[in-house]
Amino acid sequence: MAAELRPWLAPSATGPVTTTVRLPGSKSMTARALILAALADGSSVIEAPLEARDTTLMSAGLRALGVAVDTSAGDRWLVEPGPLRGPARVDVGLAGTIMRFLPPVAGLAEGTVEFDGDPHARKRPMGPILDALRSLGVRVEASPTGGLPLTVHGAGQVEGGEAVVDASGSSQFVSGLLLSAARFSKGLTLRHAGPPVPSAPHLRMTTHMLRAAGAVVDESVPDVWVVEPGPLRGRTWTIEPDLSGALPFFAAAMVTGGAVTLAGWPAASWQPVERLAELLTAFGAEVTRPAGGLTVRGTGTLRGVTADLSEVSEMTPVLAALAALADGPSELRGVEHIRGHETDRIAALAAELTKLGAGVTEFRDGLRIEPRPLRGASFETYADHRMAHAAAVVGLSVPGVRLTDVGCTSKTLPEFPELWAGLAARS
C-alpha cells in the first residue's frame, strides 16, 4: 500500500552546516544479510540493520516463507531459518532488492509464492532474471509485461546449473541469482551477455558476503560467476552505515561550505567509498577518513564535473542536485538503466531541475546540467526517496523548494525529514 502523500517545504540553510551524523545501516547489506541468514543452516544475528520500508518488507516476505525474523530489538535482528514453504504472498513495495532477491528463494520453497508491489514496481524490469530462473528449472508465471505481479511455483528445490542473463538493466539480476545459488542442487554458473552490468560494487558486495557465509565463489572470469553448491553458515553480520543514504548529508556540507562527518564508518568497507570520494573531490570537496568516521568538507567551491556514474548509479539524483548548484556545467553519463529505478530518474531529474531553473539536456544514458540562477518551485518526488534527497539538497540554498511528498524517504531512511530539519537548524 502506498502511503498518504506528505508535502514538505525543504528547509534552507542560513550558514555552513558543520555536524556529525549517525545514520542507519546499509540497505544493500541488510537485504543480503537477511537472504543469506534465511538460507543458512543455523541462526544468524544482524547487528545495526537498516530499519526502513525496504528491509521491513524483506523481513515480512521471508517470514511469509517460513523464516523466523525477529526485529523487535531494533538494532539486533535475529534470524532463524525454517523449512521454506508456500502458499505465501510477498509485498515488494518499490524495492528492487526484494523483487530480484526473493523469487530465487521462493523457487527453493515448497508451494506457490505470489509477488506484487507498488504501482511503479510493476514497471520495473524483471524479464531477464525470471527467464534465467526458468532456465534453471523454476516455474514462474509473470504478468503479460514480463514483470510483477508474478507467481513462483516453488518445488522445494532448484536444480541450478548454467544460466545466461542480460544484466545491463540491473546488477540485481545477478545478485539475486547468486545469493540463492549455493542452495541450488548443482550450484550456479551464471554468464552475463549484453551491454555492461552497472553497479559493479554491488556485485562485489554480493560475492564478498556469500564468501563470508561460507559459499565457494569464483568470479575470476569477467561477466561469469560460479557458486558451488553447499551449505551457508549462520553468523553475525555487522552492517555498515549506508553510504548512499549519507550522500545528501555530505552534499549539505558541500553546498553550504561546512563539514559533515558520518560516524561509525569502518576502516574497510564494501560500499564504493573510493569512487564517491573521487567524485566529491572532483566537485570541489575535501574527503577525509578520521578514525571511525568519514568526513566531507565543503571548500566554498562547487565545480561542475564530467563523470561516468555507472558504479554509483543510485547516487545520480543527489549528484545531479550538486551539479545544478555548481559554478559550471556537468555531464553525468553511463546510467541509462536508472530509467528503471524507483522512477525514470533521468526524465524525472530533467523535468524537476528544469522547473527550478537549471538548463538540462537529457541523454539516453544521463544528463547535462547547466547551472543558472535557481528559484523555488514545486518539486515532484515520484515516490522516489532519492528524488526527495535531491530536492532537499537544492532547497538548502534555494528557498521555496516544495516537495510533493517527503514520505517516500521511508523507503530507506524514515527519519530523513527530522534529521534534515535538525541539520538545517544547525547551519
Ligand X SMILES: C=C(OP(=O)(O)O)C(=O)O
Q: Does 384 bind ligand S3P (CB under 6 A)?
A: no
User: Strands 402-403 and 378-379: what pairing?
Assistant: parallel
Q: Which of 95, 277, 280, 369 binds ligand X (CB under 6 A)?
A: 95
Q: Does 192 bind ligand S3P (CB under 6 A)?
A: no
Please give the grid coordinates belonging to residue 78: 535475529
Q: Does 170 bind ligand S3P (CB under 6 A)?
A: yes
Q: Which is nearer to ligand S3P, 28 or 256 (CB)?
A: 28
Q: Which of 16, 25, 96, 104 binds ligand X (CB under 6 A)?
A: 96
DSSP 8-state symbol, 111: E
Q: Which of 199, 295, 343, 410 binds ligand S3P (CB under 6 A)?
A: 199
Q: Which of 51, 314, 336, 405 binds ligand X (CB under 6 A)?
A: 314
By CB atoms closer than 10 A (0-12, 13-18, 19+), residue 83 is exposed
Q: What are phi and psi of 115, to 5 degrees?
A: -120, 135
Distance CA 183, CA 210 (A): 12
| Residue 111 marked in a binding site | no
Instruction: Tell which positions 261-320 bind ligand S3P, by CB under 6 A.
Output: 313-314
Candidates 11-19, 94-102, 153-161, 291-299; binding stretch for ligand X (CB under 6 A) = 94-102
Q: Which is nearer to ligand X, 183 or 386 (CB)?
A: 386
Q: Is 389 left (phi over 0), alpha (psi -120 to 50) or beta?
A: alpha
User: Strands 330-333 and 306-308: what pairing?
Assistant: parallel
Binding pattern for the stretch 4-43 against ligand S3P, x by CB under 6 A and - elsewhere? ------------------------x--x------------
DSSP string for 170-186:
-THHHHHHHHHHTTSTT
- Out of ligand X, ligand S3P, none, what residue 207 binds, judged by CB under 5 to 8 A for its kind, is none
Q: Which of 32, 53, 183, 341 binds ligand X (CB under 6 A)?
A: 341
Instruction: Tell which positions 313-332 bind ligand S3P, by CB under 6 A.
Output: 313-314
Instruction: Tell which positions 81-100 bind ligand S3P, by CB under 6 A.
Output: 96-97
Cis omega (within 30 of 0) on the bond before 149? yes
| Nearest-CB residue for ligand X | 96
DSSP string for 298-348:
--S-----EEE-GGGGGGHHHHHHHHHHSSS-EEEES-GGGGGSSS-HHHH
| Among 51, 219, 314, 342, the one annotated catalytic | 314
Q: Does 26 bind ligand X (CB under 6 A)?
A: no
Q: Which is nearer to ligand S3P, 208 or 289 (CB)?
A: 208
Q: What are phi and psi of 252, to 5 degrees?
A: -60, -40
- Tell the smallest beta-carbon distance from residue 365 to ligand S3P (Å): 13
Q: Does 366 bind ligand X (CB under 6 A)?
A: no
Instruction: Tell which positions 391-420 bind ligand X, by CB under 6 A.
Output: 412
Q: Does residue 82 contact residue 67 with C-beta atoms inside 8 Å?
A: yes
Q: Which is nearer to ligand S3P, 71 or 170 (CB)?
A: 170
| Residue 120 marked in a binding site | no
DSSP string for 40-98:
SSS-EEEES---SHHHHHHHHHHHHTT-EEE-TTSSEEEEE----B-SEEEE-TT-HHH
What element of type H or E holds 29? helix 27-38
Count of residues near ligand X by CB under 6 A: 8
| Residue 141 marked in a binding site | no
- Out of ligand S3P, ligand X, none, what residue 18 binds, judged by CB under 5 to 8 A for its kind, is none
| Residue 271 marked in a binding site | no
| Residue 180 marked in a binding site | no
Q: Which is nearer to ligand X, 131 or 314 (CB)?
A: 314
Distance CA 316, CA 332 (A): 8
Give the count of alpha carbons within 13 A of 204, CB side only.
Answer: 10
Distance CA 335, CA 215 (A): 31
| Residue 27 marked in a binding site | yes
In the three-class reduction of DSSP (H, G, I as helix; E, B as strand; rest coil), residue 269 is classed as: coil
Query: Is 278 known to be catalytic?
Result: no
Contact positions vs ligand S3P (CB under 6 A): 28, 31, 96-97, 170-172, 175, 198-199, 202, 313-314, 337
Known binding-site positions: 27-28, 32, 96, 124, 170-172, 199, 314, 341, 345, 386, 411
| Catalytic residue numbers, as ranges | 314
Contact positions vs ligand X (CB under 6 A): 95-97, 314, 341-342, 386, 412
